[in-house]
A and B are shown apart, each in its own frame.
Chain A
Amino acid sequence: MIATVYRLTAPGMIEPCCRELSPAAGGVLLRPFRLSVCRADQRYYQGQRSPEALKAKLPMALLHECCAEVICDPSGQYRRGELVVPVPNLPAEADPFIAENYLFSSRFRSSGYDGYLQEYFMEDPARLVRAPKGVKPEVCAFLELVSVSMHAIRRFEGIAHNRRERLAVWGDGNLGYITALLLRAMYPKARLLVLGTVAAKLALFSFADRALLVDDLRAGARETLCDHAFECVGGGGCQPAINQMIDVIAPEGTMALLGVSENLVGLNTRMVLEKGLRLFGSSRSGLADFQQTAALLAQSPRLAAALEQLVGEIVPIRAVADIHTAFRVDAQHSFGKTVLSFLI
Chain B
Amino acid sequence: MILAAILAGGTGTRFGSASMPKQFLELGSKPILVHTVEKFLVHPAVEHVAVLTPRAWLSHSESILAAACGADAAVTVLEGGETRNGTLRRALDFVEERFGKEQAHTLLTHDAVRPFVTHRIISDNIEAAQTHGACDTVIAATDTIVESEDGRFISSIPERRRMFQGQTPQSFDAKKLRRLMDSLSPAEETALTDACKIFALRGEPVALVNGETNNIKITYPYDLQVAQTLLGD
Contact = CB atoms under 8 A, between A and B. Distances in A.
Contacts of A262: none
A16 interface: yes
Interface string A76-87: 000011000000
Interface residues of A, number: 24
Contact of A343 (B28, B70, B123): B123
B38 to A, nearest CB: 4
A119 interface: yes
B70 A18 contact: no
A217 interface: no
Contacts of B41: 23
A23 B120 contact: no
A213 to B, nearest CB: 46
B68 interface: yes
A151 B15 CA distance: 58
A1 B42 CA distance: 9
A284 interface: no
B85 interface: no
A120 interface: yes
B230 A20 contact: no
A226 interface: no
Contact of A19 (B30, B39, B214, B231): B231
A344 B119 contact: yes
B118 A119 contact: yes
A292 B55 CA distance: 56
B233 A17 contact: yes
B18 interface: no
Interface in B185-215: 210, 214
A1 B119 contact: no
Contact of B214 (A16, A20, A29): A16
Given A2-B39, A71-B42, A18 B120 contact: no
B103 interface: no
Interface in A47-73: 69, 71-72
A24 interface: yes
B116 A2 contact: yes
Contacts of B230: 17-18
Contacts of B28: 2, 20
Nearest to A24: B70
A2 B70 contact: no
Contacts, number: 57
Contacts of B116: 2, 18
B95 to A, nearest CB: 23
B145 interface: no
A81 B214 contact: no
A4 interface: yes
Residue among A18, A24, A71 having the largest count of chain B Cβ atoms under 10 Å? A18
B44 A20 contact: no
A31 interface: yes
A120 B119 contact: yes
Interface in B54-85: 68-70
B35 interface: yes
Contact of B231 (A2, A80, A81, A318): A2
A20 B231 contact: yes
Contacts of A18: 116, 214, 230-231, 233
A20 B35 CA distance: 9
B115 interface: yes
Contacts of A81: 44
Contacts of A319: 210
B29 interface: yes
19 contacts: A1-B35, A1-B42, A4-B118, A16-B214, A18-B231, A18-B233, A19-B233, A20-B30, A20-B35, A20-B231, A22-B29, A22-B30, A24-B68, A31-B42, A69-B44, A119-B119, A319-B210, A344-B119, A344-B120
Interface of B: 27-30, 35, 38-39, 41-42, 44, 68-70, 115-116, 118-120, 123, 210, 214, 230-231, 233
Interface of A: 1-2, 4, 16-20, 22-24, 29, 31, 69, 71-72, 80-81, 119-120, 318-319, 343-344
